[in-house]
Amino acid sequence: MDRFHGKGKKAYNPETLALGYGYDPFLSEGSVKPPVFLTSTFQFRSAEEGQRHFELAYHLRPPRASEVPGLIYSRLNNPNLEIFERRMAAWDQTDEGAAFASGMAATSTLAFTLLRPGDAVITSAPIYGGTHYLLQHVLPQFNIEATFVQAGDDTPGLVAEAADRLGPERVRMVFLETPANPSNTLVDIRAVADVVENIKHRSHKDCWLAVDNTFLGPVFQQPKLLGADFVVYSATKFIGGHSDLIAGVLTGGLEQVQAVKLTRTILGTMANPFTGWMLLRSLETVSVRMRRQAKTANKLARLLLKHPKVRSVRYPGLLEPGSNQHAVFSKQCTGAGSLIAFEVDGGVRGAQACLNAFEVARLAVSLGGTESLVEHPMTMTHSDVPQEELEKIGVSPGLIRMSVGLEHASDLARDLRHALDAVP
């Protein structure tokens, strides 16, 4: 199955590609679903074929006409990963994908591919706690400077100002997470992409825009169409969708992703074949799951908005028409997703009382699974970030993050009311 229909070359929708693209059943005994390729190594038909495979794998020469990389060793490539990567690239409307052992493996491998000592990276904040730690504590050990700018309406201007301070020639990557984790604040990807283009023009060097699309993608947001060079996911979340695997994936241009894959080969950060097979299983239903979860989340967000013990609710579906945030949402998102951030009375004590009272939603970190999850960012996922910094970027002591699952909406509404009743 190709990306395009044979007659008229009309592109297939991603939901269709997720069930057939990149796999030929007759290469696997006619099996309708891809089998699990649990092998560490692959046999060559001849010594010459092995030579050709390695020449392409290590970019020793460009491929000849119609020549594609061959299978060598599952640290380099594996059918399960390759099929998943092709389907993810098709969904994001990019050229190439790369699967990883975790979302942090994807982000870290991307950073070590693009950045060198003396370089700088600018990132929006708040951002996922693991990414924050990588940028704040790990990269500086390699003389790579990270500058954080607040996510929101002013982010494009703040990125431009930071580039001026750092020197445009030093800025090699801008990293966004939108909606931001855990505040749900949106960043205008197109506007930041324009700033990145200006940085490139002034420095005469490459500067890459990477977007963590975990919260809304691939169903409700496509950063590549808005100017992003790389789209990054924790595939553990909605793409995996069942809280039973750890994985990451990024997509982007062919040449750039191939460079990332070479780094992945050396660092050994690829996903394993069985995880690749499970991701293929999950990708088939990601659109159905995310749309159902978003529908329920919208109902719960409106419930929270009216509750007397809730100080604020941050959910893209509730943005006020006419506001800058609503304008960004309208032009770059096709749905609001299923992550709700809400602040309860009583600070940390009030939030913990609420969290301890849930009966249906599970008190656990992560998100995007079939089950609803609740957690306290300040003392859990973002606990390594100083409290004064968290409060500055909108992560308050009473803030709770809820990932809405597939339970019946009425049961989740009842559970939410019960938990809020426990707030002092």
Handedness of CA 240, 243, 245, 246 (dihedral sign): positive
User: How many CA within 13 A on the CB side of residue 397?
Assistant: 9
* CATH annotation of 79-283: 3.40.640.10
* C-alpha pair distances (Å), 305 with each of 76, 182, 224, 300, 340: 49, 18, 33, 9, 11
pLDDT digits (tens, 9 = 90+) for 337-351: 999 999 999 999 999
Question: Is residue 404 scored above 80 in pLDDT?
Answer: yes
Angle at 155 between CA 149 and CA 160, to 5 degrees: 85
For the segment 236-250, the average pLDDT, to the nearest whole number, is 98
- Fold classification of 286-421 (topology level): Aspartate Aminotransferase, domain 1 (3.90.1150)
pLDDT digits (tens, 9 = 90+) for 217-233: 999 999 999 999 999 99
Q: Would you say 282 and 87 are in contact if contact means Cβ atoms under 8 Å apart? A: no
Window from 8-12, 237-241, 400-404 with minimum mean pLDDT: 8-12
Biggest CA–CA distance in the chain, Å, is: 73
pLDDT digits (tens, 9 = 90+) for 118-161: 999 999 999 999 999 999 999 999 999 999 999 999 999 999 99
Handedness of CA 27, 28, 30, 34 (dihedral sign): negative
pLDDT at residue number 54:
94
Retrieve residue 134's tokens: 């990588």
Retrieve residue 132's tokens: 């924050």
Question: Is residue 253 scored above 80 in pLDDT?
Answer: yes
pLDDT at residue number 241:
97
Question: Is residue 388 scored above 90 in pLDDT?
Answer: no
- Domain range summary for the chain, segments of one domain joined by +: 79-283, 286-421
Question: Is residue 8 scored above 80 in pLDDT?
Answer: no
Which candidate, 105, 88, 122, places its Cα nearest to that of 224?
A: 88
For the segment 193-215, the average pLDDT, to the nearest whole number, is 97
* C-alpha pair distances (Å), 203 with each of 161, 174, 185, 416: 15, 14, 30, 52
Q: At what angle do helices 155-166 and 189-203 cross, to 10 degrees?
A: 20
Handedness of CA 234, 240, 246, 252 (dihedral sign): negative
